[in-house]
Amino acid sequence: MAVKNEKQNSTSIFIISLYLVFAITAIALVLLGGGAYKKLNDAIGKNAALRTTLSLTANKARSGDRMDAWAVETLKANPNDETGVSAFVITLLKSDDGYMEDDLNWIYFYRSSLYEIPRRKRMAPVTLDDSPVLITTDGGFHAEQDVQNGIMFTAADSDGRERWLYLYPRSTYTAGGGAR
């Protein structure tokens, strides 16, 4: 009888240890998979923020696509601010929907967000904090204009990785009419 009990105990210990090995392996796989999933999800989120920022800006730029419609100007949070922020400015065309030629859309990056000031007259005061947020990102955004009226948009994520987009007006239409 004692031999049979010892055999049952050793079999029970083997089965319990096998379950423990499976349990520990399962927990380790879940922990390792969770870390990989988090890293992958963070990378996808950062990439999506970069692409969305550039895509949104490109779509806004294409809405005012003509040779003399785009500019890059500096906006300041207040008159005493020495640096200001780089703003992409789109001059809207006169049309039947009420836009006037001096109506402007301002797109700029300020305090970790991309903002837009829609349909504002050039002479109207600009307040950086009062604008609607287009997208919030941990990185940065910058616009530069070259001598041929092309605009280089650069978006960066929190790790400093940059993506850029260069736009040149497709249309040769100018505000004065005709083509160049």
What's the confidence (pLDDT) of residue 113?
A: 83
Of 112, 113, 135, 57, nearest to 89 by C-alpha is: 57
Identify the H or E element spanning 149: none
Show pLDDT as tens, one digit a residue, over the chain (180 residues): 555 666 777 888 889 999 999 999 999 999 888 888 888 888 888 888 888 888 888 888 887 777 777 888 887 766 677 777 878 888 766 555 555 556 778 888 888 888 888 766 665 666 677 678 888 887 788 888 887 778 888 888 878 888 888 888 776 544 443 333
What's the confidence (pLDDT) of residue 24?
A: 95
CB-based burial label for 118 (10 Å; 0-12, 13-18, 19+): middle
Identify the H or E element spanning 36: helix 2-63
Of 136, 127, 37, 34, nearest to 87 by C-alpha is: 127
What's the confidence (pLDDT) of residue 176?
A: 40
